[in-house]
Amino acid sequence: MRTRLAGSCFLAFVISSHACAVAAQQTAAPPQQTPAAAPAPAMPRVRLVATGGTISNRTGGRLTAEELVKSMPAVTRYATPEFEQFANVASSSMTLAQWLDLSRRINTLFRDDAQLAGVVVTSGTDTLEELAYFLNLTVRDDRPVAVVGSMRNPSTLGYEGAANLLEGFRVAADPTSRKRGVLVVLNDEINAAREVTKTDALRLHTFQTRGYGILGVVDSDRIVYYRGVERRHTAASEFDVFGITELPRVDVLMVYQGAPGDLINAAVDAGAKGVVLATAGAGATSGTQGDGLRYAASKNVPVVITTRAGSGRIAGAGGNQIAGQDLAPIKARILLMVALARTSDPAELRRIFREY
């Protein structure tokens, strides 16, 4: 009897222990799962719109937009590159009609693609500052447009085009580049399109901003900005290229000792809708240029007064004359062309030159 009772107790213990173990397994926490790695953040998309210039002018044939992108394999560390070939010519061969088409194309890219981070434009350096300023007035978006070029061609020892292009992509991809207008990026430096000028025919360190200095730099670790641009540009601009079919003719003339006024007459008679005069000092003319200015006034042709000195501001002008402020003569020509596509009223032109 004792044996049977002991066996029954042992069997009950075994059954009870097994039940507890099963219950414990059923209530135990499930094994830990290794979390899946988070997907890497997508790189900003930046589009190259190539127009040509020395940066692509290889001996035996020009580099295409695709070849330019392939020349900088490190770009994928900063951006997802896209590209298109707008033109492939020397900058001096670009026409004003092509300027309008290029601005329309960039405006369309921004309008149709909200996720596009920025645009890079390649240009020959001879007229790069002019194209950049035109885009600064007519691309109506806060996203960056970086204009790049090179002083040496791809067949030359020391070609810097790929480095400049990579820096342009980095600037265009960087969110701190927004709302700064069109940017000129060469030689590790960032300059404002409105202010920059080519200062040397051959040296790499040619693009500079006299008086005001660079906007920022492209360093190995990041993009660094030191200041902004105060004048109206890009998204704040009133100039709509979709409403401009043709840019009016504007000629640039220079003051020099004994300069004849009949050159101003000739420009007006040839169809110029405006004249920019690069004066001596802060507005002085010479020779018979006063007669030419009076002739232009009689024909209601506005004359913008600038300085040939390289820097400095024109403070005021009356009648049909417009103070060019601190704009270089070639930049004043661009602003006057765009402005005349909207108005020929001298008061309105003065306002435009004060604001832009």
Catalytic residues: 54
With 0-12 / 13-18 / 19 or more C-beta atoms within 10 angstroms meaning exposed / middle / buried, residue 102 is: buried
β-partners of residue 192 are 183
Contact (CB, 8 A) for 141 and 82: no
Query: Is residue 176 classed as helix, strand or coil in its secondary structure?
Result: helix
β-partners of residue 113 are none
Contact (CB, 8 A) for 173 and 79: yes
DSSP string computed for 247-311: PPPEEEEE--TT--THHHHHHHHTT-SEEEEEEBTTTB--TTHHHHHHHHHHTT--EEEEESSSS
Q: Quick one: which of 308, 310, 307, 305 has its CA closest to 292? A: 305
**Token duo for residue 160:** 């810097």
Rounded CA separation 170/153 (Å): 22
**Token duo for residue 130:** 């002019």
Eight-class DSSP state of 187: T
**Token duo for residue 331:** 């930049």
Rounded CA separation 191/184 (Å): 5
Rounded CA separation 68/55 (Å): 9
**Token duo for residue 205:** 């360190």
| Number of CB atoms found within 10 A of residue 12's CB | 10
| Number of CB atoms found within 10 A of residue 73's CB | 10
Q: How far is residue 192 from each of residues 39, 93, 215, measured CA to CA in Å?
A: 36, 24, 6
